[in-house]
Structure formats: structure tokens, C-alpha cells
Structure 1
Amino acid sequence: MGACLRIAQQHRVRVYPISTGRNWGYGTALPSADGCVLLDLSQMRQILDFDPVLGVVTVEPGVTQGQLAEFLKAKGAAFLVPTTGAGPSTSLLANALERGYGITPIVDHCSAVTDIEAVLPDGSVHRSLLSRLGGREVARLYRWNVGPHLNGLFAQSGLGVVTRMTLQLARRPQAVKACLFGLRSDADLAPAVEAIRTAMGTLGGLVGGINLMNQRRVLSMTAPDQMKGLSEAELRELGRKHRVDAWTGFATLYGTRRTLKAAQAELKALLGPVGRRMLFVSPGRARMLHGIASRLPIGGLARLTGTLNSSLQLVDGEPNETALPLAYSLGTPAPKNQPMDPARDGCGLLWYAPLVPMRGQDVVDFVGMASAITPDFGIEPLITLTTQGGSLFDSTVPLRFDRSSADAVAQAHACYDALFQAGRERGWLPYRFGIDSMKWLASAEPDDAQLNRRIRENLDPAGILSPGRYAEQGPETPVGVLYTQAGAARAGSGEIQEISSGSTT
């Protein structure tokens, strides 16, 4: 890997590393600037180290959620995969570097990173100080290391190519339960937010996370074929038919059977006054309900229980594709007998994912803003709010569009820009940016002493690594020269074979 970057430096070839290229809705395998050669790391699929007692695992960039699940199952290891809705084929390392999250016990996946090895733009290798002093084991166990906390420099940055990462896994608990509840109307949203904030502060680590999904978001999963062109009255009627309230809450609980019994009672006391039809269900019970529903001639019930069963598998650390049909819900045919790949299959999807303070009025105002703006661009306001600790929500709003239509593509990007600008005026900004929204970083208040820029200029004066990724773009290398030089470099070094055109679909 070092040889790749040294050759790129010598020939001023701009390179853009990807792990698996399955960054759905944020750019997939596409670089954040033109004129780049993809450094495809997807074949680096080794699980380099695993401690079955302490639950720390060291992985390469191409190791996926599904691969780790199979590995842990084969080992009989009682630890959970840090699952997300992106599916089993996505990179663990890349998700953590992008500060991804889930609703398993360790919600913030970046916070589970304990150690990193990265190749810098000049080809040199960064390893933690503890590791270089001979403490490789404690380096894998202690995320703060010694001295400056340098691991954080490689999250959401182009400062180096991370070639291995150690993650602390959550131990599989004795019991797992999900709590489902409904909010009858939007008027219940503000008091529900206040109750959720209290629950997060009261129950601490027993709660993995809490989701709130609006009616449109839930129906897009349970009745996608009936969602097109509905008026508000028709939407409410469809909700009544499928027993989907104005908002649906989904909370996860982890612990021993005794602690979960107490936590369940606390959650019921806190959320019961604002929620209705509260249901507590374990993964095993969800499987049983789906098995029964699948044999009954009741329209939509099997789909509803199937979604519940798949969601419970996710919170139980079993990666699956339950969230991916969203990308296909405008009519793109989903593949049969092969994994879903929204980029390959031509799905149109952008994510707007702002951070919103966990206060009732803030959330109501945000929902009003998103619900008002998206229809102006022909996009349904599908809104999810996910707790990030006890004081903040991250909202995910999928902007779905027909990728075969240039007008629809333009409208989706215009919708994102309108949401970004309106949210920015209120202080609601995304926790991550896609390749097309990196442009907004240039609008930040200028600062001559900006540390990120100074570090980049020092480590990568030629600007060859991940140009434009959470940073200003340097001068573009002419594409013709770029590929000529890359070809010459590839012929001259075996290691340069890791530079690959990859898949940019």
C-alpha cells in the first residue's frame, strides 16, 4: 500500500480509497472529486485478530457485517455485530470511519474503535504509540492511546488510508427486547420527545437506542405498492388499514432478564402516557409471530410481521437487508436470488441526515420544515429520528428519485440543497456529508489557522489523497494524464495492482 501512494505522489495521481463502495445514498464508490483513480480495498478481507474473552476484533477494510457475523457464529463467540440498515455486504471499517451508528448496545460505531493502522499520503505508516512501544495488546484495548488522540484524525477525512482497525464488540446480552408504540397524531410528538429524553437519561446503557418514524416512513416499508400519489386523507386511511399511527416508536433494550423486566416497567411508565399500543417483543417471539402470520390469509400481515422479525434480527446483531427495499420502493426492480445493490440496480437515493436537539419544539419545527420542503420537489417526506445519546437526535430523510430521469436527479439534489440551507438557518446540520454535498463545506466561515487544512497541507502537499473529502479540493490532474500515468505505474510495480478502477455505478 505504501508503494501505491509513493508512486501516486511521484506522478501526481489523485487516488480515492474505498472499502467496499457500498456507501448507499452518500456516493457509493464514487470519489468526491473528478480525476481520481479508485484505490479499491474490497479484497482486503482478513479478520486479523480476535479475542474471544475480551471481544475486540481487528479487521481490514473489506471485512463486511455479514462476514463478521459468520466468523462469530463459527467461533461460538457471544458478541454482537455492530449492524446497520445498509446490509450484510457493507464494510465495518468504513462505517465506523464515517461515524455510522445503529441501535445495538454500542450505538456510536466510531466510539467502538480502539486502534488504527493507516498509510499516510507519502507512503509511511501510522501506528499508535502504545503499539510502537511494544504494547500491541493494550493498544487494541485502550482507545485513547498515549499522547495526542490521533485515531480521530482518520474519521471523516482523507488524511490516510486505514488498512486495519480494531473494534470493541458488545457482548451478547442474556435478553434482548424491542418496544414498539404508536403516537396517535403529530400533536403527541413533542411530549413523546420529552419522554424519550427522560427515558434515555434514566435507563442509560439498558437502552440501545430509540427510533421515531413518521407514518409515511413506516408505510413505505409495509405497503410500498400503495403509497404513490396519496392525499393526506388517503394516507390516513391507509394507516388505519395497516394499523400504522402518525408516528411509530421503536426502542431496544439489552440486559439480563431481571434488569430488562425492570427496564420494561420503567419504559412503560415513561412512554405509556404519550404512546399507545405498546408492545414488548423478543427476537424469538418475533420469529414465532411471523411464522404464524405467514400461514394466515390476512393481507399485509405477513409483510408487517416479516419487517418486525427482520428488525429484531438487526438489533440482535444479525445483519440483513430489511432496510434496503427502501431504495427500490419507487419501482426499481429488486434483484432475485442475489444480494441487493442499489447502485448496481439503478436506484436513486440521497440521504439528508441532520442533527436535531432532543427538545420537543425543536423536533416539531424540524419535522414541519422537512415536511414542507420535500413535496415542492416531488419527494415524499419520509422521516426517521434516532437517538444519539440522551440529548440529540439524528434524523434520516431519504430523498428517493428516478435515476433514469435527468429532471428527477436535478430535483433531488435541489431538494437536498433546500433542506440543507433551511436547516442550517436553524442550526440543524448533517452528521455526515455525501460526495455531492461536500461543496457546502466551502461555505463555512473562513479561518486562516484552520487546523484540518494545515494538517492536510503538511501530510499531503500535492493533494493526491481523497481530494475534496471533508476538505477543499486541490488542482485537478488531467484525466488523460492520470490514467496514462496510472497505467505506467501499474506496469512498474506489483503493489500498484491495488489501484483499481472499481465500480462507479
Structure 2
Amino acid sequence: MADLRLPPDFTLQKLTQAQRAFESVLGANKVFFEDLDRTSYLDKFAVDDEAHHPSGAVACESVEEVQAVVRIANQYRLPLFPISRGKNLGYGGTAPVLEGSVVLDLSRMKKIEFDAEQGTVIVEPGVSFYDLYDFVQQNNLPYWLSTPGNSWGSVMGNALDRGVGYTPYGEHTKNICGLEVVMPDGDLVRTGMGAFSNAPTWQAYPFGFGPGWDQMFVQSNFGIVTKMGMWMMPEPESLMGMDVEFDRPEDLKVMVDTIAPLRRERVLTQSPSIGNWMRAAAVLTRRTDWTDEPGALSDAVIDAIRKQFDIGWWGVSLRLYGREDVNKAAYKILEEAMGNAGPMKITPTSWRRGEPLEYTGWTGTPMTFPMQNVNWYGGRGGHIGFSPIIPQDGDAALAQFRRTYARYQEYGMDYQGSFAFGERHLTNVNAMVFNKDDPAMMGRIDPFFRTLVADAKAQGYGEYRTHLDYMDLVAGSYDFNNNALLRLNEKVKNALDPNGIIAPGKSGIWPSAFAGERGQ
């Protein structure tokens, strides 16, 4: 049992007793406590392979099984770490925050209930974007998904961690409508109109009567979500848009200042993302195809890569969805605005219902090929993301880029960054791609990340999402009034989960029972 890690103040005898109790309610084929099992639930992209080891895992197939597991966990004071599918790579994957927690694997819960008239769906945690896409296609439903850049993960898990896609429904958390949640004491709650027996409006109105609790279970450890309602995008009559390339790093300013008003006016209703040249290069090639020079890539190599792929320093894909007449009118506005911004090139694109469809994120098609970027350096590839929220302002975006780019060069890393638009904000997503077989490189990742967090905090920028290693760091950076928000979160946690069994440490929220583990 060389890989066995136990929670604080826990014993092997208690773990064995808990394991037997899990087997009694689930069956032995759903309980995993062997060395190989524990290895299977490690973080595949971990910066530190010695951190976040589980003591085992259990797999549930029904709400009733989840409730039974929660009751056993309370009996033995054994922390659980729920995962939907465990594909949140770059943020922790299948691994728990707290060493020795038991992973509660919900990937076998895969039911889909679709209301084709209203365009809503209820999914369980194990439903992947591919599963939902196949369901829509097989049933000839006139709806589109919004998918993230890598789509093998859970629809629910992505929305509950504030993941994003590229269509007008790309801010997935905003499209949650109604949750079913197993609470830390095993009670079962439905939010919104789901609290009303047999309500036909559970997926139509998210608030119900009294406080609206859906967002309480986003990025939290207050309960285990077993069903999620979500709004789907009706298949549009047409799609029009353009792929736009800009030549210089400083063009980021004009790109942001041109697109931002169109986004705020809802001429653009999608979630466009400005990305640099490496988004293409790292997916289609490896670094050794271009150079063997150490440190960050030189301008000469970057120029060679851009020439080969005929791409700008920055690129953005802009799409319009809906009625064709409306799209044509909006396209004229878009074409004039982007043309006046001085692009390197504009490539128009269009589609009408009934024509062959391009299989991309812009049409809500699941995909996984962008994950090939982890092969950039060779070896066992991985990445983590640094993603602060910044103002939707060209000067602010350019300044943030210059600070971050200088840090990439300082730490000898190749820059892959993007600026994704919400309606009023930008998310500056920076992928820190690495080779886990390069000890020198891996030794730079932690100080590099912490430096980026400190740089952003100095500007008043906080991350919206982060890896297990940095949840305490990021939660602590939200420091108004002596971290009043964190204190509020932990008051709620202790009230709902006095034994601290649901995902202690998730999003930096530590129950009193494990308060000593903060920052460990």
C-alpha cells in the first residue's frame, strides 16, 4: 500500500471499515481501494505528482446510492471528493484537494431528459458533451450545444466550474436552470421551481420562491449535484461571420476596443476569444519541428511559425447566429468595424440551415484535438491555466499581455494566451504548457504561477478558476474586509456540513474539521 494516503487523524482500520460499508450498499464492483485504483484517480497533469492522492474511490449509479455513500462518510468522518467525469484537466482532473479523500465518481450517472418543445435538458453528472451531442443528433432535435475547447468532459461539471464555449450560449453557468442536490447530511433538494412538486417549469424559471440557490453550488463544496437543468440554443437559420488575423502584438488593443462595443450592444451574442499564434502551432506541430534553442521562443522562430501557417500574431473568430436577414444586417456592421481596425486579413464564412456544417466549436460540435497542445514540448505533456478577469478595455488588455508575456520570457516558457469576451469583462486565459519529464522546467512552474497571481493581484485582478494546488492562494487573494467572502463561505460550509465531508478545501473553502489543512 505504498500509494495509500489517509486523511488527517484517520486510521487504516477506519478506512477498512468504511470500505466494507461502501461495498455493502454499492457492491464490491463499485468500490476501488487498490493501489492501481488510487493511481487511476491521480491528477494526470499535476505539477507535483506527490500531492492530492486519494485513499480510494466509489462509483455511484443513482441518487439513492449517492445518499447512501454520504451517510457512510458522515458515520466515519471520511471526506469525499465528487467528480462528474474527472476530465477537468489542467485544474486537477480526478484528484481531490485534500490528501486521502475518497473520490466519489459520478461518471456512471448518464441519464438525459430532453424537452424538445421548450429547448431544455436535464443531465446527470456523467453525461459528456459527446453523449449530449449524439442524443440530439440521433433524435433529430433542432438544437445546438455550446462546447468547450476540449469536449470529453461532463456537461454538468463544466457548467459548475464556470467553463465556457463559443456560441451565444457559451457562458454555461448562466444557462443552468434548476438543480437536484444531495446535501452533506444526505437530504435531497431541488432548487428553483423543482421545489414545487411536479412543476412543469423547473427548467423554465431558475429562481422559484425565496432565494435562488443554483449559483450556490457552482465552484462550491456545499452539496453534490446529481441533476442539472440547462437551456439549449435553437438551431439557427443561418450563421455568418469571419476569421480575422492581426499582425502585431500591440494590435490587441484595437481588437478589444473594436469587439467590446459590439459585444455589449449584443450585435455579437457569442463569446469570441482572441488567441495568439501558438494556439495553432502547438496543436499541429511540436516545438522540435521549429527549434532546439532553450528558453522562450525568439521572434525569428515565431515569425517562421506564422509564415508557415499564414496566421497573425493574434486571431479571432466572430460569428453571428439566427435569422438570415438579421445576420446580413449585423454582418455589415461587423465587416465595417473590423475592416477599420486594420487587420492583416479577413476570411468570411457563412452557413444556411440544410447545408453541410463545419465541425467546430462555433457550431457546438464536440472536439478534443486542441488537447494536442500538451505535446508541444514532448515527453509527458500537461498544462495548467492562469485566467484572471480583467476589464473589457484595450489598454488594460495590452498592459496585462505585456506583463504576462514578460514573465513567460523570464521563466523560459512559450506563450499561449487568449482574451475571451463576456458581455462586460475579459477572461485572460494563459495556458502553461509543460513537459513532466523535464525536471528543470517543472521546477519553474510553481514560482511562475505564483508570480502571475501576484502580478494580477497588484492590478486588482483575480482568477475565476484555478488548479487544486492554488485554490487557497486564489481564495486568499479575494481580500476585501479581511477576506469577508471566504469567511461567509466557510460559515455556510460549517452550517451545512459540520463533519466537513464534502470536498474539503474545494475553492479554498475549508470546514472547521479540516481547517488546519489550509495552505498545506
Same-fold call, TM cutoff 0.5: yes
Establish whether residue 254 from structure 1 lines up as the match of residue 317 from structure 2. Answer: no
Partner residue in 2 for 1:67: 131
Establish whether residue 219 from structure 1 lines up as the match of residue 284 from structure 2. Answer: no
1:95-494 matches, within 5 Å, as: 95-128=158-191, 130-204=193-267, 206-225=268-287, 226-228=289-291, 229=293, 230-274=297-341, 275-282=343-350, 313-332=360-379, 346-389=380-423, 391-440=424-473, 441-445=475-479, 446-447=482-483, 450-474=487-511, 475=513
Q: Quote the offset at 1:7 in angstroms.
A: 1.0
Instruction: State whether residues 78 and 172 of structure 1, in contact with CA within 8 Å, keep that contact through their aligned partners in structure 2.
Output: yes
Partner residue in 1 for 2:115: 51
| CA 39–388 in structure 1, closer or farther in 2 if over 3 Å, else same | same
Q: How many pairs were matched up?
A: 439
The aligned amino acid for 1:461 is: P
Looking at structure 2, the residues matched to 227 and 428 of structure 1 have their Cα atoms a distance apart, in angstroms, of 35
Instruction: State whether residues 162 and 172 of structure 2, in contact with CA within 8 Å, keep that contact through their aligned partners in structure 1.
Output: yes
The aligned amino acid for 1:164 is: K
Question: Cα RMSD between the aligned structures?
Answer: 2.3
Which of 101, 104, 107 aligns to 1:42? It is 107
Which of 75, 86, 104 aligns to 1:21? It is 86
Instruction: State whether residues 241 and 331 of structure 2, in contact with CA within 8 Å, keep that contact through their aligned partners in structure 1.
Output: no
The aligned amino acid for 2:453 is: F
Q: Quote the offset at 1:368 in angstroms.
A: 0.2
Q: Quote the offset at 1:221 in angstroms.
A: 3.2
Instruction: State whether residues 24 and 86 of structure 1, in contact with CA within 8 Å, keep that contact through their aligned partners in structure 2.
Output: no
Q: Quote the offset at 1:14 in angstroms.
A: 0.6
Looking at structure 1, the residues matched to 307 and 334 of structure 2 have their Cα atoms a distance apart, in angstroms, of 26
Instruction: State whether residues 32 and 435 of structure 1, in contact with CA within 8 Å, keep that contact through their aligned partners in structure 2.
Output: yes
| CA 447–193 in structure 1, closer or farther in 2 if over 3 Å, else same | closer
Q: Quote the offset at 1:138 in angstroms.
A: 0.8
Establish whether residue 4 from structure 1 lines up as the match of residue 69 from structure 2. Answer: yes
The aligned amino acid for 2:431 is: P
Deviations 1:32-67 (A, max 9, x none): 1112000000001111x2111111100100000000
User: Identity of paired residues, percent?
Assistant: 25
Looking at structure 1, the residues matched to 404 and 392 of structure 2 have their Cα atoms a distance apart, in angstroms, of 17
Looking at structure 2, the residues matched to 248 and 365 of structure 1 have their Cα atoms a distance apart, in angstroms, of 18
SS of corresponding position for 2:428: strand
Partner residue in 1 for 2:11: none
Establish whether residue 30 from structure 1 lines up as the match of residue 74 from structure 2. Answer: no
Instruction: State whether residues 147 and 170 of structure 2, in contact with CA within 8 Å, keep that contact through their aligned partners in structure 1.
Output: no
The aligned amino acid for 2:413 is: I
Structure 1 residues without counterparts, runs of 5 or longer:
289-308, 333-345, 479-505
Instruction: State whether residues 253 and 260 of structure 1, in contact with CA within 8 Å, keep that contact through their aligned partners in structure 2.
Output: yes
The aligned amino acid for 1:141 is: A
Looking at structure 2, the residues matched to 437 and 281 of structure 1 have their Cα atoms a distance apart, in angstroms, of 41
| CA 360–129 in structure 1, closer or farther in 2 if over 3 Å, else same | closer
SS of corresponding position for 1:470: helix
Q: Quote the offset at 1:409 in angstroms.
A: 2.5
| CA 464–173 in structure 1, closer or farther in 2 if over 3 Å, else same | same
Looking at structure 1, the residues matched to 226 and 406 of structure 2 have their Cα atoms a distance apart, in angstroms, of 43
| CA 397–21 in structure 1, closer or farther in 2 if over 3 Å, else same | same
Q: Quote the offset at 1:129 in angstroms.
A: 5.4
Looking at structure 2, the residues matched to 468 and 314 of structure 1 have their Cα atoms a distance apart, in angstroms, of 33
SS of corresponding position for 1:244: coil
Deviations 1:90-119 (A, max 9, x none): 100000101111111212101111100000
Deviations 1:209-234 (A, max 9, x none): 22211223333234445344442123
Deviations 1:154-174 (A, max 9, x none): 000000000000101011101
Partner residue in 1 for 2:20: none
Looking at structure 2, the residues matched to 330 and 405 of structure 1 have their Cα atoms a distance apart, in angstroms, of 9
Instruction: State whether residues 178 and 192 of structure 2, in contact with CA within 8 Å, keep that contact through their aligned partners in structure 1.
Output: no
Looking at structure 2, the residues matched to 283 and 26 of structure 1 have their Cα atoms a distance apart, in angstroms, of 35
- Report the TM-score when normalising by structure 2: 0.80
Looking at structure 2, the residues matched to 262 and 365 of structure 1 have their Cα atoms a distance apart, in angstroms, of 34
Q: Quote the offset at 1:443 in angstroms.
A: 4.9
Looking at structure 2, the residues matched to 284 and 148 of structure 1 have their Cα atoms a distance apart, in angstroms, of 42
SS of corresponding position for 2:457: helix
| CA 46–72 in structure 1, closer or farther in 2 if over 3 Å, else same | same
